[in-house]
Structure 1
């Protein structure tokens, strides 16, 4: 069969890699480079060797990432993991934002460092319990947190600010996220687990490049957004932004729900799919790399590898990288009132919000998996938007399309 894969992020490329040698694959990618949310930036070094910084997936905790670990091992990157420094600080930027009138997350009293640390430890303990007890995915964070005997300012400025800084929403809106989807970001892994986080030397995007390199028979087309899809007898005809027409026997949509909804809208009889995909909600995020410590405390001794800045209605992160040629920072810039003075690069993302409505729709989407030759992979199929889950979704699709693929043998425990 010829399989059309739309989207060359981790899920799309992993699907193509798993199908290599079994089916012919065509991968159409709207951007000029592969990787999706595996997006690395490279800062020039004094010796001519650039240093990779992550704008997308920052790294992974290997104790939770068996599938990601197996993929990197399978493509020859297993010895390329570097441990990331740990430590997080919470700071208040003075002066409420005019955008935040009425939101009130920074109202006095302000949360102290000790209160924030204790709140994070409490969240870690409860998050582990949510997973063990398998609470419903549709249970919100507020349904648990509001029962805890903590001051209002600690809940708003510490507990809710943590997931808000990841998903790009205001802390007040983080209350409505799925507790079980948020929990793994903070859950205590237990005394026997390796709780450290790692990233690939050379950048997380190198996994995408390696997957693409090891698909020699795949046709990967960059800068080719899909403009139109229609059924042609028992096949699909894909028309890309170059005007090229491609006939395929099945389609794997490994892209955002919004883009997938536009694509299936071209096909007849897909009303239920369009309704389901319409329930997905995204935030627009902008990340930037800069060399001035504009969002960190004035005293260098107070810097941490990760800093969450509370300003107005928002909580946004800055990661500090101490490089041989000087300090470099990666910051979430979406709602900042002041931009960095020494900006090196920036990029935009669409980040899915794990709300109960989205997770309910996702369960419906999975029941339609493969119907009429349409398959879905990536974050729109997984309650956890992490690299391991995204790669597991590719394994699940490959099992349906090529159960005899030799490359699937390594992933017998993955269940996408």
Structure 2
């Protein structure tokens, strides 16, 4: 996407946040404007986070953004081509291990589906497979508004208990890292959009998935080098204290008491962080940005095979686990990084989110807490109102929270901001 046709007057634009949304905004605007990007963390990239691990300490492993495809990530992959980012094919498959291995299966192939041999003789298992086909065929017809919940969708389609307990709730839990009890009240549209975007509703199967060779750090390195060549000022390790809007533009206040003046600002951080940083936010900003909830998710990079299904045949790229503890269902997700990033399986590597059982401490390489948006009904309604505050008081908002929470969604939000700035410049003074 080209923004070369912008007006000749270069504006001073501040970007707050150095994840994909902020970096993409800088990528789109730096050719035609004087851009300064602030990031509180010492590194840029946000959820594009690569850790060097493995038994020899030489294996790059992604712990946030891992995979993409060329169908549903058009903006991101266009930038990858421009930057000559090296990529390799990935494998995306789903599996589940529930009740300490009482029910296990994988969806990679028939062998994984019946990896637990008892599944062959379980009528309920065949009914679950039948319900999966029914859901894929009819879910979009039922989820026609954001008022329809996942629970209502299940009831309308008359989907059985096994489908709910051992397929739908596991996938929902894996997507949102949310307990099953809460998921039934989530908007069905969020679920259907995820399935559609990942080709899970398609009879022809998934899209081909890809991963960055050498880890996502490779694209971040190339992107930051290009931004610096374009004259963009990148300031990792520079937290913003607050953002003050004035009649003349915007002032960025830093912790050391200094101020820097800009014509416009793009808030490319989480919505709650944006609201916290804005001095004197408007009522509309408070209502929209404050409506979105976030959830902490513990990430552990490790080589503990106990986090995978008990039956090796059920091992999949993306494994949901659920166990009952004190009358409460705890859920977790484990990513098999060897399969996702083409790593030699003799050097087992896994990324677990909220593991249901502790990972053995001597098998841990890295730990971090990520914050993810919760896409409930309030969040969807807030997304629909974001246009009302875009560009007001010379302030714009970008972030993956404005759509589905994925890397492409952050980039798409940056495209909308850049287009908004472009359109405003074309209006005669």
Q: Establish whether TM, by shorter chain, passes 0.5.
A: yes
Shift of 1:205: 3.8
Gaps of 5+ in 1: 97-109, 406-416
- For 1:231-242, list aligned pairs within 5 A: 231-242=245-256
Rounded Cα–Cα distance in structure 2 between residues aligned with 1:354 and 1:138 = 13
Query: How far does residue 153 in structure 1 lie from its aligned partner after superposition?
Result: 4.5
- 1:71-86 paired onto structure 2 within 5 Å: 71-77=79-85, 80-86=86-92
Counterparts in 2 of 1:190 and 1:306: CA distance versus 1, 3 Å: closer
Matched position secondary structure for 2:234: strand
After superposition, give the CA deviation of every residue in 1:142-191 in whole Å (9 maximum; x if it has no partner).
Answer: 22112222333431332122111221111121122222222243334646
Deviation at 1:36? 1.5
Contact 1:229 1:267 in 2 (8 A): no
Structure 1, 321-330 or 219-228: larger mean CA deviation = 321-330
Matched, 1:174 2:175: no
Question: Are 2:223 and 1:211 equivalent residues in the alignment?
Answer: yes
1:292 corresponds in structure 2 to 304
Offset of residue 213 of structure 1 = 1.5
Pairing 1:278–2:290 present: yes
CA distance in structure 1 between the partners assigned to 2:203 and 2:130 by the alignment: 18
Q: Would you say the 8 A contact 2:322–2:356 is kept in 1?
A: no
The answer as to 2:384 corresponding to 1:363 is yes
Cα separation, 1, equivalents of 2:54 and 2:298 = 22
- Does 1:4 find its partner at 2:4? no
CA-based RMSD = 2.8
Report Cα offsets for 1:351-398 as digits up to 9, x if no partner. 11111111112212222210110100112332x222222211111111
Corresponding residue to 2:333 among 311, 317, 340: 317
Alignment of 1:82-97 (within 5 A): 82-94=88-100
Report the counterpart of residue 100 of structure 1 in structure 2. Answer: none
Q: Which residue of 2 aligns with 1:101?
A: none
Other-structure match for 1:143? 152
Q: Secondary structure at 2:413's aligned position in 1?
A: helix
What secondary structure does 1:83 align onto?
strand
Preserved CA contact (<8 Å) 1:24 1:218:
yes
Q: Is the 8 A contact 1:279 1:361 kept in 2?
A: yes
Contact 2:128 2:160 survives alignment (8 Å): no
1:258 corresponds in structure 2 to 272
Deviations 1:103-162 (A, max 9, x none): xxxxxxx997656555544443345x35xx882244322221122223334313321221
Q: Is the 8 A contact 2:101 2:309 kept in 1?
A: no
- What secondary structure does 2:137 align onto? helix
Which sections of structure 2, spanning at least 5 residues, go unmatched?
A: 1-10, 103-121
Q: 1:354 aligns with which of 357, 366, 375?
A: 375
The one of 386, 392, 404 aligned to 2:406: 386
